């Protein structure tokens, strides 16, 4: 995810800028000291730096020298607008804003930087509609950002790592990537790494030759072979055994593998899309995910927002699921008057899957044409 770092002395100003950046689709860090900026530059790449020039202008040159790549900088000043243009050129900034109007004026700069981030980092085209892919419902800011990222990366061949809680629709994201790519006429093969025993996962991925182990009475193609030039979706990648993660890493690096018990080197052209419901850094610390495999898969990370972050999408989804049941059963049931308020009071830890099940269950239990959501069907209440 693109990352904005804010070097600002006043918490209120920093918070306003951070909220604007997050709404535009950035991760955000806020610091108040030069040494903190230099430390962040050592640890991660920064899409842009927002800096309070009133307090920190003398540190700007040192910051720019600390990174080997061009670092876009947006400056905040107390000067009037007539002085800003000359200062932009003098300091080499991408934007210079008066502090009093920074919150209102900075959003367009963030949008331009976001386009530059994807174009330069992944060599992607500049056009993206942000239109929801098929099977997706929602127009919240986090979902528009998701659609934007899907459309941008789908046309490339880079590996994608999808991160999101259970029930958020990670497989739908992977399918949308496949359907919007040049591979859409090829196979899309999903494999849940947590649903296959450690003894069988190697055979599932790479296939096996006849007699290679007990029960292998005939040769069998694996998912890599079956995917050919399509997309292989590896769900719950952190549940894959560590030794298999090593072998997967080699395939990603070389494009070559062998069947279990085989001697012939096979080549794959499949695109790899992986997903996890764990936070990747925590999974690495817990030795659930190899760090080298993470960096190989994490060329383009996509974050799928949980339902509690999607605002009015909750109501849109509930209406969608109710309409599904009406079409299937040839009915015209409607929600009770207070349904929307009830839905918005809950956090939905099971996300879209939990909401769908709650709507379907309430539909089935409704005795008339009015569907009332029952308390036992709702997610956890939001924390106050």
pLDDT tops 60 at residue 118: no
| H or E, element range at 74 | strand 73-77
pLDDT tops 90 at residue 141: no
Q: What is the mean pLDDT of residues 102-110?
A: 80
pLDDT (0 to 100) of residue 384: 44
CA dihedral 276, 278, 281, 282 (to 10 degrees): -150
Using CA of residue 362, residue 365, residue 369, residue 375, what is the dihedral sign? negative
Percent of the chain scoring above 70 in pLDDT? 88
| pLDDT per position as a tens digit, 285-335 | 999 999 999 999 988 899 999 999 999 999 999 999 999 899 889 999 999
pLDDT tops 60 at residue 147: yes
Helix count and strand count (H, E) for the chain: 16, 14
Architecture category of domain 308-377 in CATH: Orthogonal Bundle (1.10)
Query: Which backbone phi and psi does 30 adopt, to 5 degrees?
Result: -120, 130
pLDDT tops 90 at residue 131: no
pLDDT (0 to 100) of residue 120: 55
The domain made up of 155-305 has a fold known as Rossmann fold (3.40.50)
How far is the C-alpha of 212 from the C-alpha of 207, rounded, in Å?
10
Question: Which is more confident, 93 or 278?
Answer: 278
Query: Which backbone phi and psi does 210 adopt, to 5 degrees?
Result: -60, 130
Domain boundaries, the chain: 3-122, 155-305, 308-377
The domain made up of 3-122 has a fold known as Rossmann fold (3.40.50)
CA dihedral 142, 235, 115, 92 (to 10 degrees): 100
pLDDT band for 80, please (50, 70, 90 cuts): low
Q: What is the mean pLDDT of residues 203-212?
A: 88
Q: What is the mean pLDDT of residues 32-48?
A: 83
pLDDT tops 50 at residue 125: no
Mean of all residue pLDDT scores within the chain: 85
pLDDT tops 70 at residue 373: yes
- Provide the 8-state DSSP code for 267: E
pLDDT band for 126, please (50, 70, 90 cuts): very low
| Residue whose C-alpha is closest to residue 37's, from 81, 73, 1, 83 | 73
Q: Would the CATH topology of 3-122 be identical to that of 155-305?
A: yes
pLDDT (0 to 100) of residue 303: 93
* Residue 158 token pair: 């880079």
């Amino acid at each position: 995810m693109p990352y904005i770092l804010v070097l600002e002395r006043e918490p209120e100003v920093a918070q306003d800028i951070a909220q604007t950046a997050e709404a535009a689709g950035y991760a955000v860090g806020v610091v108040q000291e030069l040494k903190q900026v230099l430390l962040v530059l050592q640890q991660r790449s920064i899409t842009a730096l927002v800096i309070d020039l009133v307090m920190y202008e003398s540190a700007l040159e040192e910051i720019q020298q600390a990174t080997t790549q061009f670092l876009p900088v947006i400056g905040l000043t107390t000067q009037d607008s007539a002085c800003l243009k000359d200062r932009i050129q003098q300091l080499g900034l991408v934007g210079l804003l008066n502090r009093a109007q920074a919150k209102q004026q900075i959003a367009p700069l963030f949008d331009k930087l976001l386009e530059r981030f994807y174009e330069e980092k992944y060599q992607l085209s500049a056009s993206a509609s942000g239109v929801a892919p098929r099977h997706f419902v929602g127009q919240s800011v986090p979902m528009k950002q998701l659609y934007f990222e899907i459309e941008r990366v789908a046309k490339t061949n880079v590996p994608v790592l999808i991160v999101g809680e259970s029930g958020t629709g990670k497989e739908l994201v992977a399918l949308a990537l496949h359907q919007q790519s040049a591979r859409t006429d090829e196979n899309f093969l999903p494999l849940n790494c947590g649903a296959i025993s450690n003894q069988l996962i190697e055979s599932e991925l790479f296939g096996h030759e006849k007699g290679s182990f007990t029960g292998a009475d005939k040769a069998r193609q694996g998912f890599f072979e079956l995917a050919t030039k399509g997309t292989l979706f590896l769900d719950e990648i952190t549940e894959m055994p560590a030794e298999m993660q090593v072998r997967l890493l080699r395939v990603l690096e070389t494009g070559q593998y062998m069947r279990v018990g085989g001697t012939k080197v096979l080549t794959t052209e499949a695109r790899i899309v992986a997903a996890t419901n764990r936070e990747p850094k925590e999974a690495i610390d817990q030795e659930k995910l190899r760090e080298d495999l993470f960096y190989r898969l994490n060329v383009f990370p996509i974050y799928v927002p949980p339902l509690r972050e999607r605002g009015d999408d909750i109501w849109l989804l509930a209406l969608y699921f109710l309409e599904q049941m009406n079409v299937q059963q040839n009915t015209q049931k409607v929600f009770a008057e207070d349904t929307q308020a009830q839905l918005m009071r809950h956090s939905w830890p099971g996300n879209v899957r939990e909401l769908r099940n709650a709507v379907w269950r309430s539909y089935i239990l409704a005795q008339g044409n009015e569907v009332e959501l029952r308390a036992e069907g709702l997610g956890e209440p939001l924390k106050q």
